[in-house]
């Protein structure tokens, strides 16, 4: 029987630890504040933003909410981010993505001060990650490392295969697994013989955005499978990039969707917010 890696439990554990740490910072007069910016009213973004604000409240972090209209200009958003960069009351800045099409996302990300970049998306944060310097880690990959560590799954010397090469998950995931001394392969949509490569994996991380794409034919007996996908099946139930029912009997450990990687992303965002005052 495969172990189901319980992201809900592990994220709760991390949030409890952070809550205690924040309490101790408060006793020393150190306050933490996260600015959360949403442009427009995309319903999925609203759910994510609300969950982030709720997590802040739970842990004892102040959240400042900026709900801007869809018609906000790039210049207006740049000005807001710059003013938050300069505000000594604000520790972290989060601009919820995606932004409306008329705003250059890349420019906004680069405007956030790397010292307040709690998403870890700024090129400075990305560079620090790859050279092993201290900096903010991208939340989803950092959450996956915590899932593995807190499930006593060692990474050192393991064949780690990542399917997907996005800037938010695949690429930073490769850097983090490398840092943990894994042997890392990044496969993607142009990869030939994908099955041959994924079958080598001791640890398989799937972030391709295709519903239930990875079946048992793609995995080695006893592998550890981490599913970053989030979709709805024909019946409207949440499911991942991995065909869970088909893959689970073959593997040693697997993350469910929901309740696997998802809850970890917010826990690691909270960790990055606390990191702003640890420094």
Residues forming the active site: 52, 96, 119
Number of residues that bind ligand GUN (CB under 6 A): 7
Give yes or no for residue 68 binding ligand GUN (CB under 6 A). Answer: no
* 164 labeled part of a ligand binding site: yes
Residue 125 CB burial class (10 angstroms; 0-12, 13-18, ≥19)? buried
Give the count of alpha carbons within 13 A of 254, CB side only: 28
Looking at the Cβ atoms of 208 and 253, the one nearer to ligand GUN is: 208
**Using CB under 6 A, which of the segments 23-31, 90-98, 159-167, 178-186 binds ligand GUN?**
90-98
Shortest spacing between CB 180 and ligand GUN, in angstroms: 21
Q: Which of 2, 68, 97, 230 binds ligand GUN (CB under 6 A)?
A: 97
CB 162 within 8 A of CB 116: no
Specify whether the CB–CB gap between 31 and 62 falls below 8 A: yes
**What is the spatial distance between Cα 218 and Cα 225, in angstroms, rounded to a whole number?**
11
35 is an interface residue for ligand GUN by CB under 6 A: no
Please, are residues 156 and 179 in contact by the beta-carbon 8 Å criterion? no
CB-nearer residue toward ligand GUN: 95 or 242:
95
108, 139, 176, 253: residue in contact with ligand GUN (rule CB under 6 A)? 139
Closest listed residue to residue 110, CA positions, set 100, 125, 96, 99: 125
Does the protein bind ligand GUN through residue 38 (CB under 6 A)? no
- 96 makes contact with ligand GUN (CB under 6 A): yes
d(C-alpha 164, C-alpha 172), whole Å: 11
* Alpha carbons within 13 A on the beta-carbon side of 200: 15
166 is in an annotated binding site: yes
- Does 230 interact with ligand GUN (rule: CB under 6 A)? no
Contact status: 119 vs ligand GUN (CB under 6 A)? yes
**In the complex with ligand GUN, which residue's Cβ is closer, 32 or 94?**
94
Sort 55 into a burial class: Cβ within 10 Å, 0-12 / 13-18 / 19+: buried
279 is in an annotated binding site: no
- Which residues does the annotation place in the binding site for NADP(+)? 164-166
The residues of the shown chain that bind ligand GUN, judged by CB under 6 A, are: 94-97, 119, 139, 265
């Amino acid at each position: 029987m495969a172990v189901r890696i319980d992201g809900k439990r592990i994220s709760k554990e991390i949030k409890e630890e952070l809550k205690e740490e924040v309490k101790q910072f408060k006793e020393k007069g150190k306050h933490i504040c996260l600015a959360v910016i949403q442009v427009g009213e995309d319903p999925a973004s609203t759910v994510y933003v609300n969950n982030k604000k709720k997590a802040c409240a739970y842990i004892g972090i102040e959240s400042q909410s900026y709900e801007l209209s869809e018609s906000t200009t790039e210049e207006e958003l740049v000005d807001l981010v710059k003013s938050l960069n300069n505000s000594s009351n604000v520790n972290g800045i989060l601009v919820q993505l995606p932004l409306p099409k008329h705003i250059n996302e890349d420019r906004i990300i680069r405007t956030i001060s790397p010292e307040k970049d709690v998403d870890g998306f700024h090129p400075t944060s990305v560079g620090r990650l790859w050279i092993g310097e201290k900096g903010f880690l991208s939340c989803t990959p950092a959450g996956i490392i915590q899932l593995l560590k807190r499930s006593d799954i060692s990474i050192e010397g393991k064949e780690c295969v990542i399917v997907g090469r996005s800037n938010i998950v695949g690429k930073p995931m490769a850097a983090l697994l490398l840092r943990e001394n894994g042997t890392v392969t990044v496969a993607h949509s142009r990869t030939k013989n994908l099955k041959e490569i994924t079958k080598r994996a001791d640890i398989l991380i799937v972030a391709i955005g295709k519903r239930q794409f990875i079946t048992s034919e793609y995995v080695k007996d006893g592998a550890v499978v981490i599913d970053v996908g989030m979709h709805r099946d024909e019946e409207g139930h949440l499911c991942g990039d991995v065909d869970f029912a088909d893959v689970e009997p073959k593997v040693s450990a697997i993350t469910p969707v929901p309740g696997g990687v998802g809850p970890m992303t917010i826990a690691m965002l909270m960790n990055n917010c606390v990191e702003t005052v640890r420094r």
